[in-house]
């Protein structure tokens, strides 16, 4: 059996809703073999981030070498990288092992406001990682930080996507979750030529912890299976919509999304089709 393999280079979320835990659950649900290189351990739950413990560069390098020397990922994603030293070593290893199909989720701040990327590291992300990216998936505040511009209108989003594309990322998905002014949630995909709008109904819920990680992991899983970027982002949008709609209701704060939901729905549709 040939199995597609994906690697996440990201932080650990003890609460299981974001970070490598969200990524590995998403890979598994999309039938992709998941691997991880942990950059930092966070003490975190649905109420917020209580602690951040970056791993040593040696520990991160060794994980990447262990994977690079043996297992060949078909796609790779980066999440929480925390500082510029980590960004540099991750970029170096991605090049050394010729890992392609790279999805860069430029994680900067958790929903509760905790710093997951030091401010001084944004320039390193731009210099070292974006030129290697097949897809970069910023939310609106992250796109503002990367481009040093404020984003309020759709034209602002298009302009920001163009700037990030010019920094070297072949595709840009500017996610629209943070714009609560409309009933729809609109993500913008840019490939250097045209803009594609991907739209879904906004779900009214507080359980959105880990939406960005889950979405970018779904894109990565689909790329690992050989899908194109437009196909992968389309499936990822359906995956995250199901995960938000079918809420688990876990925890007293911002609960995790439901990583089972997308496959449960597909199984339900298959059962229905078999009955007819």
Ligand X SMILES: Nc1ncnc2c1ncn2[C@@H]1O[C@H](COP(=O)(O)OP(=O)(O)O)[C@@H](O)[C@H]1O
Ligand Y SMILES: Cc1ncc(COP(=O)(O)OP(=O)(O)O)c(N)n1
Q: List contacts with ligand Y (CB under 6 A).
A: 10-13, 18-19, 42, 44, 79-80, 107, 110-111, 116, 209-213
Least distance from ligand X to the Cβ atom of residue 236, Å: 7
- How many Cα atoms are found within 13 Å in the side-chain-facing hemisphere of 138? 27
Least distance from ligand X to the Cβ atom of residue 137, Å: 7
**Nearer to ligand Y (CB atom), residue 41 or residue 196:** 41
**Nearer to ligand X (CB atom), residue 63 or residue 211:** 211
**Nearer to ligand Y (CB atom), residue 77 or residue 275:** 77
Least distance from ligand Y to the Cβ atom of residue 166, Å: 24
Please check whether residue 179 is in contact with residue 197, taking contact to mean a CB–CB distance below 8 angstroms. Answer: no
Taking CB within 5 to 8 Å according to partner kind, which of ligand X, ligand Y, none is near residue 177?
ligand X
CA 267, CA 161: separation in Å to the nearest integer?
A: 36
Contacts with ligand X, residue ranges (CB under 6 A): 139, 175-178, 185, 187, 200, 202-203, 208, 211-212, 215, 237, 240-241, 244
**Nearer to ligand X (CB atom), residue 55 or residue 140:** 140
**Chain residue whose CB lies nearest ligand Y:** 19
**Nearer to ligand Y (CB atom), residue 112 or residue 191:** 112
Please check whether residue 121 is in contact with residue 87, taking contact to mean a CB–CB distance below 8 angstroms. Answer: yes
Other CB atoms closer than 10 Å to residue 28's CB: what's the count?
Answer: 14
Least distance from ligand X to the Cβ atom of residue 254, Å: 10
Taking CB within 5 to 8 Å according to partner kind, which of ligand X, ligand Y, none is near residue 209?
ligand Y
Q: What is the 3-state secondary structure (H, E, C) of 128-180?
A: HHHHHCCEECCCHHHHHHHHCCCCCCHHHHHHHHHHHHHCCCCEEEECCCCCC
**Kind plus residue range of the DSSP H or E element containing 54:** strand 48-54
C-alpha closest to that of 139 among 116, 169, 172, 171: 172
> For 126, which DSSP code?
I
Catalytic positions, written as ranges:
175, 208, 210-213
Least distance from ligand X to the Cβ atom of residue 1, Å: 31
- Which residues have CB under 8 Å from 193's CB, separation 6+? none
């Amino acid at each position: 059996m040939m199995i597609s393999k994906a690697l996440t280079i990201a932080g650990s979320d003890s609460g299981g809703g974001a970070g490598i835990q969200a990524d590995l659950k998403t890979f598994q649900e999309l039938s992709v073999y998941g691997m991880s290189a942990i950059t930092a351990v966070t003490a975190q739950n649905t109420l917020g981030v209580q602690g951040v413990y970056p791993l040593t560069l040696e520990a991160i390098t060794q994980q990447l070498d262990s994977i690079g020397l043996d297992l060949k990922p078909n796609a790779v994603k980066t999440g929480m990288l925390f500082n510029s030293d980590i960004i540099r070593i991750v970029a170096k290893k991605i090049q050394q092992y010729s890992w392609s199909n790279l999805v860069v989720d430029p994680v900067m701040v958790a929903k509760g406001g905790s710093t997951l990327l030091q401010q001084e590291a944004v320039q390193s992300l731009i210099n070292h990682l974006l030129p290697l990216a097949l897809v970069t998936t910023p939310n609106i505040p992250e796109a503002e930080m990367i481009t040093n511009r404020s984003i309020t209108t759709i034209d602002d989003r298009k302009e920001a996507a163009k700037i990030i594309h010019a920094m070297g990322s072949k595709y840009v998905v500017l996610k629209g979750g943070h714009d609560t002014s409309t009933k729809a949630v609109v993500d913008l995909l840019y490939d250097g030529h045209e803009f594609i709008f991907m739209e879904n109904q906004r779900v009214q819920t507080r359980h959105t912890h880990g939406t960005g990680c889950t979405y970018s992991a779904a894109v990565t899983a689909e790329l690992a299976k050989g899908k194109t970027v437009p196909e992968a982002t389309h499936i990822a949008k359906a995956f995250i919509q199901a995960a938000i709609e079918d809420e688990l209701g876990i925890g007293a704060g911002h609960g995790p999304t439901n990583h089972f939901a997308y496959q449960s729905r597909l199984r339900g549709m298959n059962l229905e089709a078999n009955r007819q």
